[in-house]
Structure 1
Amino acid sequence: MFGNPWFETVAEAQRRAKKRLPYAVYGALLAGSERGATVADNVGAFAELGFAPRVAGHHAVRDLSTTVLGMPTAMPVLISPTGVQAVHPDAEVAVARAAAGHNVIMGLSSFASRTVEEVVAANPNTAFQLYWSGDRDTIVQRMERARTAGCKALILTLDWSFSHGRDWGSPTIPDRIGLRTMLRMAPDVLPHPRWLWRFVRAGRLPDLTTPNMRQPGGGVPTFFGAYGEWMQTPPPSWADIGWLAKEWGGPFLLKGVGRVDDARRAVDAGVTALSVSNHGGNNLDTTPATIRLLPPIAEAVGDQIEVLLDGGIRRGGDVAKALALGAHAVLIGRAHLWGLAANGQAGVANVLDIMRGGLDSAVLGLGHASAGELGPDDLVIPDGFTRTAGAAAR
């Protein structure tokens, strides 16, 4: 590899990912729907919040550790489950190893390209993510496979309606990688020899299958095969969510909450955690940034369940701001994928170091001994920053 493989910011990891990945692969990471307003607000809203640092009484040692979904973690940053990771041949296994090396919880997508068994072997503190896809028997079969593999928590993702339109254009993603596909995509791939060489050296092609979506007695579906099953499955009711939480019987996170009334119904359904999420802006565009929606949700249910946040986290200071506004922890998605693209497992570890360093600096400057002490008084919050969706009071 040319130059210094280490990078100082997630923005630099993104620049390297853009340079090294074929357009179709990098474009898939950008995600975002329609005009991309939600993607932009997810990131930009954090810059509207200011810190209110203290000048004396700082602590020489800070504690960033906590427990999330029943699992201890060195810091309140989790790996968000993301689908097929064709940015690197080691994919989710590399991410899981980096997270384990930092004592960080791994979230594994059911649309992942590596099996749940491989990932749990790399990181025992893994939470398995399900979409509501297939009939109840199929869902239970996938859940039980995750339990048998050793997953310690379940994540149900419901904040995805798969909007196709992007004002800047959507990349072409093939269903399978074969000779014809390789020839068609050669003009995009050949200018990125280092990305291609990684797969050649590993002895495999980019994997677009979803082994964790296998049906009993069936083969391994492609991403679009799994997506087709999801499209044909009737959306779940609150009763369905309650049923699944009971079937799992352990730490259960509902991902995709943006309304106060939905947060309260999630508590009633028996979930133990929720994530304020808009699927990274890849859902309904113009949904407000999750950090704007967090405070009223945390105020409504934060004393009953763990409230997490994902969307727009690019630095440790963002983590600190989310914690100050009521999040118990955050999940990172694009950030770790850019690190993976930039430098494999070491790149993911690099991103986690960036998150930890930035969070520790914020806790130090704000005069706290632990990340758990962060609160609204540590921030300068502009008028009108918060958005409330759903009924604010019972």
Structure 2
Amino acid sequence: MAKPEWLQNPWKQNPWFESVAVAQERARKRLPQPVYGALVAGSERGQSAGDNQSAFAELGLQPVVAGQQAERSQATTLWGQEISQPVVISPTGVQAVHPDGEVAVARAAHSRGTLMGLSNFASKSVEEVTGTGARTFFQMYWTGERDIMLHRMQRAQDAGALGLIATTDWSFSMGRDWGSPEIPEKVDLKTMVRFAPRVATKPRWLWTFGRTGTIPDLTAPNLAPPGGAVGPTFFGAYYEWMTTTPPSWEDIAWMCAQWKQISGGKPFVLKGVSRVDDALRAVEAGVDSISVSNHGGNNLDGTPAAIRMVKPIADRVGDQVEVVVDGGVRRGSDVVKAVALGARAVLIGRAYLWGLAANGEQGVGNVLDILRTGVDSGLRGMGVSSIHDLRPEHLLVPDGFHRTLGDVPAPSPGRRAAPASA
């Protein structure tokens, strides 16, 4: 006889949540403090992480009282793919908040008709993730020798990745004012004993892993060397990054060209652009898309909110490359505001990780559904039938909201702007 459901999972609660804020609260209650701390942390005082969210609240929407559209569409194309909504999964590393990790996230993205970004610091291999059927874009940092990077590109291509996302803005700032969350080198018996007092207070999280017979995996399988079966630990990967010379713009152009050759011309996305002059350089380097981002506030603290930098960059290069934005998106209205300012779509990170922690694959799908519903409400309220019709004029933008970094003179008619000198 099958066990009653409450015996199979004595901590079961209504799995559905109505907002990303509720998903975050459930994640906070479910996860051990060091794990939750790693999800919410921003570098230094957290100024950029905070501004990523608060900046959206400075933007208003202009509603109509009649004439709303009965049919509204969120469908668009991004990176050569048709997607059902302008929200895609941003690559984040070591998703140890749930035993299924990136596989669960990929399944949710696939079921909702959108794209999956997979970090090379992920806890699941690119082969496992593409095996779900999810349309996957593989993310790489500039780490290791060039032959190692070529190996990783080839592996992603062989696994069926549809594009490459290059992230080069990472600085791995550890100086958080409230203290950095402790990340163990690996999870072994000694580590489990040391963390036991903090983990024992979170029985739901323990139950989730216990029923699968697994423990959180802090290795990075996508960084395994050629012919190697096991990837390095998180800190092993960090050491490789730390000892790699930062890339030049010539290196970015090389990376882009190599991926195009290996993949037969699949999209190359540069993530972490904050400046107009860098956006222009990216165009010159041959990229297909740029993500306006401050690395979720985990990079150079004091960088403006990503949403503040979207319009100045989109105005200059949006007709040459696809512009997306990531950082601080928590509601469908945030998505509406980003698209109105010139973003093709938004990438989400913390929002879906909280959903993953709260309820696995269904929790990630729940987050995507919340954002979809919020976008639809925004379109209806403003009398807009399609996200493609959104314009800055649909917003109330306070004076001084936008931040234009690295500005260079716009080109004269018939002339092309040259990238600013380094």
Counterpart position of 1:358: 374
One of 313, 335, 339 as aligned partner of 2:329: 313
Separation of aligned partners in 2, 1:348 and 1:36:
25
> Which residue, out of 254, 258, 266, partners 1:247?
258
Distance 1:19 1:378 in 2: 38
1:158 offset after TM fit, Å? 1.3
SS in 2 for 1:256: strand
**TM-score normalised by structure 2 residue count:** 0.92
- Residue aligned with 1:202, SS: coil
Question: Structure 1 residue 53: deviation in Å?
Answer: 1.2
1:152 aligns with 2:139: no
Larger deviation, residues 309-318 vs 58-67:
58-67
- Among 108, 116, 129, the residue aligned to 2:118: 108
Q: Which position in structure 1 is the counterpart of 2:33? A: 23
Q: CA deviation at 1:31?
A: 2.4
- Name the CA distance, whole Å, in 2 between partners of 1:223 and 1:52: 46
Question: How many residues are paired up?
Answer: 394
Deviations 1:46-89, CA, capped at 9 Å, x for gaps: 00000011222221111101111111110110100000011000
Cross-structure match for 1:162: 172
Is 1:333 the counterpart of 2:362? The answer is no
Structure 2 match to 1:286: 302
Gaps of 5+ in 1: none
The residue number in structure 1 matching 2:20 is 10
CA contact (8 A) 2:186 2:233 kept: yes
The aligned amino acid for 1:245 is: C
| One-letter amino acid matched to 1:387 | R
CA contact (8 A) 1:99 1:123 kept: no
Say whether residues 1:201 and 2:211 are aligned partners.
yes
Report if aligned partners of 2:289, 2:324 keep a CA contact under 8 Å in 1.
Answer: yes
Residues 1:386 and 2:402 are matched in the alignment? yes
Distance (whole Å) between structure 2 residues aligned to residue 234 and residue 145 of structure 1: 23
1:137 corresponding residue in structure 2:
147
Of the candidates 213, 217, 221, which is equivalent to residue 211 of structure 1?
221
CA displacement, residues 218-277 of structure 1 (integer Å, 9 cap, x when unaligned): 442111101110111101111111111111112011000000000000000000000000
The answer to whether residue 276 in structure 2 is matched with residue 260 in structure 1 is yes
Counterpart of 2:211 in 1: which secondary structure? helix
Deviates more, 1:52-61 or 1:265-274: 52-61
Asked if the contact 1:252–1:272 (Cα under 8 Å) also holds between the matched residues in 2, the reply is yes
Task: Measure the CA separation in 1 of the matches of 2:68 and 2:207.
Answer: 48
Per-residue CA deviation, residues 290-343 of structure 1 (Å, 9 max, x unaligned), is 111111000000000000000000011000000000000110000000000001
Local SS of the residue matching 2:131: helix
User: Where do 1:56-95 residues align within 5 Å?
Assistant: 56-95=66-105
Deviates more, 1:208-217 or 1:299-308: 208-217
> How many Å separate the matches in 1 of 2:276 and 2:177?
31
What is the percentage of aligned positions where both structures have the same residue? Answer: 62
CA positional deviation for 1:142:
0.4
Find the counterpart in structure 1 of residue 137 from structure 2: 127
Moved over 6 A (4+): none
Counterparts of 2:248 and 2:117 in 1: how far apart (Å)? 24
Q: Secondary structure at the match of 2:93?
A: coil
Is 1:39–2:13 an aligned residue pair?
no
Whole-angstrom distance in 1 between the partners of 2:150 and 2:206: 38
Q: SS at 1:82's partner residue?
A: coil
1:124 touches 1:151 (CA, 8 Å); kept in 2? no
